[in-house]
Amino acid sequence: MVKQKTIKKINNPKMINNSNNNLATLVYTKAIEERVKSKYLKRIDYLVEANNELMRELEQYERVSMTEKV
C-alpha cells in the first residue's frame, strides 16, 4: 500500500511538470553562469597579463635606475 501511494505521487502530472520546470530553470541558470564566467575570466586574464607587462617594465626601469646610481 505504501508503494502505491508513492507511485501515485511520482506519476502526478503536477509533480512531473514542476520537476521539468525546476530542471529547465537549473539548466538555464547554469548556462547563464557559464556565459558570465567565461566573459569575466577572459577579462581577468587580460587584466592580469596587462599587470604583468607593467610590472616587467617597472622592474626594468628600476634596474636601469640602480645601475645609474652606481
pLDDT per residue as tens digits for the range 13-35: 555 566 678 888 999 999 999 99
The whole domain housing 11 covers 2-69
Higher pLDDT, 66 or 8: 66
pLDDT value of residue 1: 47
For residue 68, give the C-alpha cell: 645609474
Name the DSSP class of 23.
H
* Number of structural domains in the chain: 1
Q: How far is residue 42's CA from residue 47's CA, in Å, rounded to a whole number?
A: 9
Q: pTM (2 decimals)?
A: 0.48
Q: How far is residue 54's CA from residue 34's CA, in Å, rounded to a whole number?
A: 30
Chain position carrying cell 505504501: 2
